[in-house]
Structure 1
Amino acid sequence: MIEIKDIFKTFGENEVLKGISATFQTGKNNLIIGGSGSGKTTLLKCIVGLHEPTKGEVFFDDENFTTMDFTQRVPIRTQIGMLFQNSALFDSMTVEENILFPLNLFTNQSQSEKLDRANFCLERVNLTGKNKLYPSELSGGMKKRVGIARAISMQPKYLFVDEPNSGLDPQTSILIDDLINELTDEYKITTVIVTHDMNSVMGIGDHIVFLHQGKKWWEGSNKEIAHTDNKELNDFVFASKFMQAAKSKL
């Protein structure tokens, strides 16, 4: 479980996050949604320590991550898997080398053990035999799956995903959502996903935090969204569905 308490984040005079508190549930897909500029990615970066909150606290299974120094954070960071929006693969490395990167950095496993783990992760994301390909030889969906394989290579307790369906066609987006959902359920991971994709929200949104103007504006499940009277959330849902419908006709 991940808990955030009263998170503020200011850049200069720009207050991006304004006192956000939430609990992200183990074994569930926890989605952070909201319009552009609402603070979604900033909040994600504050949780994983890429940004330091101006005020507030982040807890990983009751351990206060915010008050830890760099060395104290290492054991928690080794339990974190991260899929960035653009997959963030190393272009000069093969698929296999990309997946081995965190294993080489954080474990003392033998080379054969690390290769076994890399092959298992590739099999898990349906990319068996793609070890020696380079990112330039992969489709957008394949890059995302390699990114997921690398993110789960350390058998994480916590998985953070930033816009997993960005730049993907609807069919590939569904495949990525299904894969994340399966991994979350199978390994009982605390998964936190930043997305603007309403198909993802309605498909795998076990627990949803809606941000508006840097504040937590609504919280609930995908089943509750259809019945909410929250005007800003309804406006966001309608606009998102309208844009997705328009794009599908292009």
Structure 2
Amino acid sequence: MIEIKDIFKTFGENEVLKGISAQFKPGKNNLIIGGSGSGKTTLLKCIVGLHEPTKGTVSFDGQEFTSMNFTERVPIRKEIGMLFQNSALFDSMTVEENIMFGLNLFTDQSRSEKLDRANFCLDRVNLKDRNKLYPSELSGGMKKRVGIARAIAMQPKYLFVDEPNSGLDPKTSILIDELIKELTEEYNITTVVVTHDMNSVMGIGDHILFLHQGQKWWEGTNKEIAHTDNKELNDFVFASKFMQAAKEKL
């Protein structure tokens, strides 16, 4: 479980996060949603240590991450998998080499063991035998799946995903959502997803945190979101659905 308590983040005079607290449980798809500038990506970066909170604490299974130094954080960071918005694959590396990147850095496994793990992960994301392709030879959806394979290669306890459906068509987006959901449940991962995609929210949102102007404005499940009387959340949901419907007609 990941627990955040009273997280503030300030850049100069700009207070981006204003006292956010929440718990993200294993085996659940925990979604952070909100409009542009609401603070959702900043919150994700504070949780994984890319930003240091101005105030507040982040704990991984009872271990207070925010109070640790760089060396003390290493064991937890080894248990973190990340899927970046643009997949962030290394263009000069093959699919296989991209997936093995973390294994080469952080394990003493033999090459055979690392290859076995890479092949397992590729098979798990339905990209069997694509080992020798380069990112330039992949579609957007395939790049996302390779990114997921790389993220799970280290068998993470915690998986962080930033806008997984950005730039994808609706059909591929659904496939990515289903894959994230399956992996989360199958391996009991604590998954945190930043998204603005309402299809993702309604499809896999076990636990949803809605941010508005840097504050936690609403918290609940995808079943509860349809019945909320929270005006700002309803405005966000309606606008998101309207924009999605418009895009699909183009």
Q: CA deviation at 1:138?
A: 0.3
Counterpart Cα distance in 2 of 1:37 and 1:10:
13
1:140-159 map, 5 Å: 140-159=140-159
Correspondence for 1:104: 104
Q: Partner amino acid for 1:229?
A: D
Q: What corresponds to 1:204 in structure 2?
A: 204
Given residue 98 of structure 1, which amino acid in structure 2 is its aligned partner? N
Q: Distance in 2 between matches of 1:241 and 1:147?
A: 27
* TM-score for the superposition, normalised by structure 1: 1.00
Correspondences of 1:89-238 after superposition (within 5 Å): 89-238=89-238
Q: 1:72-83 counterparts in 2 under 5 A? A: 72-83=72-83
What are the superposed Cα offsets for residues 178-232 of structure 1, whole Å, 9 maximum, x if unpaired? 0000000000000000000000000000000000000000000000001100000
**Is the partner of 1:150 in helix, strand or coil?**
helix
Identity %: 87
Q: Secondary structure at the match of 1:22?
A: strand
Q: C-alpha distance in 1, partners of 2:71/2:128?
A: 36
The SS at the match of 2:168 is coil
- What's the CA shift for 1:115? 0.4
TM value normalised by structure 2: 1.00
Which whole-Å CA distance do the structure 1 matches of 2:16 and 2:205 have between them? 24
Q: CA deviation at 1:173?
A: 0.1
1: distance between equivalents of 2:131 and 2:69? 36
Amino acid at match of 2:173: S
Deviations 1:82-132 (A, max 9, x none): 000000000110000000000000101111000000000000000001101
**CA distance in 1 between partners of 2:197 and 2:25 (Å):** 20
SS of equivalent to 2:66: coil
- Which amino acid in structure 1 is aligned with residue 174 of structure 2? I
In the alignment, the residues of structure 2 paired with residue 223 and residue 46 of structure 1 have an alpha-carbon distance, to the nearest angstrom, of 28
Aligned to 2:248: 248
In 2, the alpha carbon distance for the partners of 1:116 and 1:25 equals 30
Aligned residues: 250
Distance of 2:222 and 2:25 partners within structure 1 = 15
How far apart are 1:71 and its partner, in Å? 0.5
**Distance of 2:149 and 2:206 partners within structure 1:** 22
Shift of 1:25: 1.0
Equivalent residue number for residue 59 of structure 1: 59
Letter in 2 for 1:210: F
The CA RMSD over aligned residues, in Å, is 0.4
Find runs of 4+ consecutive structure 1 residues off by over 6 angstroms. Answer: none
